[in-house]
Amino acid sequence: MARGARKKLGADYGLSTTGVAGPGGGTKEKPAGLVYIAVSSVKGEIVRRLMFGGEREVIRERSSFEALFLLFQSLTVDERGR
């Protein structure tokens, strides 16, 4: 999704999240609180699988924070050339 967003919008970076924030919708294989975040750039993609506990709103907030932090890390690394 992150790559698709980046390419479709002609952006330097793409960011995506997906998962099950709960309280319903979870399964044994994909329980509530399971979240994937990804950042895409011309240098490649970084994907993280995260598991959060708590209420739906907490899971959504933590997912958003982690996605933005991953983007920040990608920008910082790219800027420093590492």
Give the CATH number for residue 69: 3.90.950.20
How many separate domains does the chain show? 1
62: tokens are 């933590």
Convert the pLDDT of each residue in 39-65 to its tens digit: 999 999 999 999 999 999 999 999 999
Convert the pLDDT of each residue in 11-38 to its tens digit: 999 999 999 999 888 899 999 999 999 9
Contact at 8 Å (CB) between 67 and 47?
no
23: tokens are 């309280």
| Maximum separation of any 2 CA atoms in the chain, in Å | 43
Q: What is the pLDDT of residue 77?
A: 81
pTM greater than 0.75 (yes/no) = yes
pLDDT band per the 50, 70, 90 thresholds, residue 82: low
Determine what percent of the chain is predicted with pLDDT higher than 70. 94
Domain that holds residue 38: 2-80
